[in-house]
Copies of this chain bind each other. A is one copy, B any other.
Amino acid sequence: MTETGEDIRVRSPADDSPEDIYAEDGSIRTDFRALVGAAIADRDLLFLRQHVARLHESELGDLIEALQPDQRIALVRLLGDDFDMTALTEVDEAIRLQIVEHLPNAQIAAAIGELDSDDAVYILEDLDHEDREEILAQLPFTERVRLRRALDYPESSAGRRMQTEFVAVPPFWTVGQTIDYMRDEADLPESFSQIFVIDPTFKLLGTVDLDRILRTKRLEKIEAIMRETSHPIPAEMDQEEAAQVFEQYDLLSAAVVDENGRLVGVLTIDDVVDVIQEEAEEDLMRLGGVGDEELSDSVREASRSRIPWLLVNLLTAFLAASVISLFEATIEEIVALAILMPIVAGMGGNAGSQTMTVTVRALATRDLDIHNAWRVVRREAGVGLLNGVVFGMLIGVIAGFWFQDVNIGGIIATAMLINMFAAAVGGILIPLLLDKVGADPAVSSAVFVTAVTDITGFFAFLGLATWWFSVH
């Protein structure tokens, strides 16, 4: 725009929307939210159609999350058919349910009919049985059959996440025939990056990427350019496993087949990215001792989801306390021990959780397996010993000076070394063993590791002190 030409702006993502709806920190701009709120209150359909209905589905989702609960429902009602239901796949489950429950089933059915089947399933699967059936009953026959089939597959399976719209052609067609078919057929999926090759019984024979079609002469046969190495995903396969196949082979989309090898749908990378995100989030939340919580959960729901973990911790805390109580007499004599003992336990706990974090993550990414487990165990034991020596000496010197007692310095140094070593060994062996017996190491490792480091820490420190002062 300027004369020098230097100021030519690189378009940022938000430029594509009618206006820039995001503030710098990535949240919805406060003034935009206020404008929308006012338009909802005034029932200003013109503004809403022009500035809200035209937003990208994910932008609309962000906006809905930023609105007040009653504004959300009013907005969806006001926009009616102009509201892009896909946006509901982008919001928290609690918010989605709240909106859907306030809409007449007829409006939902009409909107669902417009969606890709994977988005439709995503919205339908959370509804209660009655509402779901009522909505399905209002859909055209083929649509209904398709959605019901996807809904019949278990939750979190590839069959649930798949899109049932795809392009499939017989192997004897030419590239030219295929292109002509796509030019003439009105009912193609909204977007696709590969087509499938099937026999008359819908059995999957292969796939052809679109770029392969475009660079091939019209007369070439499809079977000549199709790839057999297409990693079909069984519909019953867990979505997490399916995501691993995508990651390993860098797929953009993959055929989903039923138990007879017949093509039933296609899984696309955008759904897989969501799965990958969810899995990573799950591991992090579980390591932190939180369940499948959402930010929109109520106090009671959040509290309930956190209590089980705290209860288990309560048990181990009392176990550790009872270890301390074994040495009541010693503590009564030397109070310095009571002052210092949390340091031994706490430092051990932190060292243990470091090792555990590395282990849990490596197990999740499959970087850790039987080929290198032994090497990693030895490494962790080495790290534990090394850091045990470093921190043992450091803490020993500080504690010795603090209490002007070389005995206490020596005792805490030795106890630190023992506990750091126990932390390292526990931090790697506990998740490995849990994984071996089929438990999720992310869920339960932390509580066992803390139990080991607390109990070892108190026992080593107080036990050593009791023994040392009894013989000297």
Neighbouring B residues of A210 by C-beta, 8 Å? 193, 210-211, 214
**Contact B370–A27 (Cβ < 8 Å):** yes
Neighbouring B residues of A269 by C-beta, 8 Å? 252, 269, 273
Q: How close is A454's CB to chain B, nearest CB, in angstroms?
A: 7
- Interface flag for A354 (CB, 8 Å): yes
- Interface flag for A371 (CB, 8 Å): yes
List CB contacts (< 8 Å) of A246-302 with chain B: 246-250, 252, 257, 259-261, 269-270, 272-273, 276-277, 280-281, 283-285, 287-290, 293, 295, 297-300, 302
Neighbouring B residues of A387 by C-beta, 8 Å? 303, 306-307, 310
Q: A220's closest neighbor in chain B, by CB?
A: B183
Q: A13-B248, A193-B211 are in contact. Are A340 and B369 (CB under 8 A)?
A: no
- Interface flag for A45 (CB, 8 Å): no
- Interface flag for A87 (CB, 8 Å): no
List CB contacts (< 8 Å) of A431-472 with chain B: 450, 454, 458
Q: A273-B269, A350-B289, A361-B285 are in contact. Are A30 and B342 (CB under 8 A)?
A: no
**Contact A346–B317 (Cβ < 8 Å):** yes
Q: A236's closest neighbor in chain B, by CB?
A: B10
Majority DSSP secondary structure for residues of A touching B: helix
Q: How close is A186's CB to chain B, nearest CB, in angstroms?
A: 9
**Contact B361–A281 (Cβ < 8 Å):** yes
- Interface flag for A106 (CB, 8 Å): no
**Cα–Cα, bound, A280→B247 (Å):** 15
- Interface flag for A154 (CB, 8 Å): no
One of A72-80, A127-135, A145-153, A323-331 at the interface? A323-331
**Cα–Cα, bound, A211→B332 (Å):** 79
Which of B26, B276, B335, B379 is in CB contact (< 8 Å) with A302? Answer: B379
Q: A381's closest neighbor in chain B, by CB?
A: B299
**Cα–Cα, bound, A269→B253 (Å):** 11
Q: How close is A364's CB to chain B, nearest CB, in angstroms?
A: 9
Q: How close is A183's CB to chain B, nearest CB, in angstroms?
A: 6
Q: A10's closest neighbor in chain B, by CB?
A: B234
Besides A328-B335, A328-B339, 12 new A-B residue pairs in contact (Cβ under 8 A), listed by A number:
A16-B228, A192-B211, A277-B365, A287-B288, A288-B354, A299-B379, A302-B379, A302-B383, A310-B347, A314-B343, A321-B339, A341-B342
A–B complex contacts, Cβ < 8 Å, 23 sampled: A10-B259, A11-B232, A13-B231, A26-B369, A33-B371, A210-B214, A214-B214, A272-B273, A276-B276, A283-B284, A287-B288, A287-B357, A289-B350, A295-B362, A295-B368, A298-B379, A300-B386, A303-B383, A309-B354, A313-B346, A317-B346, A335-B338, A338-B338
Interface residues of A (CB under 8 A from B): 8-11, 13, 16, 25-28, 30, 33, 56, 58-59, 65-66, 92, 179, 182-183, 185, 188, 191-193, 209-211, 213-217, 228-229, 231-232, 234, 244-250, 252, 257, 259-261, 269-270, 272-273, 276-277, 280-281, 283-285, 287-290, 293, 295, 297-300, 302-303, 306-307, 309-310, 313-314, 317-318, 320-321, 324-325, 328, 331-332, 335, 338-343, 345-347, 350-351, 353-354, 356-358, 361-362, 365-372, 376, 379-380, 382-383, 386-387, 390-391, 394-395, 398, 450, 454, 458
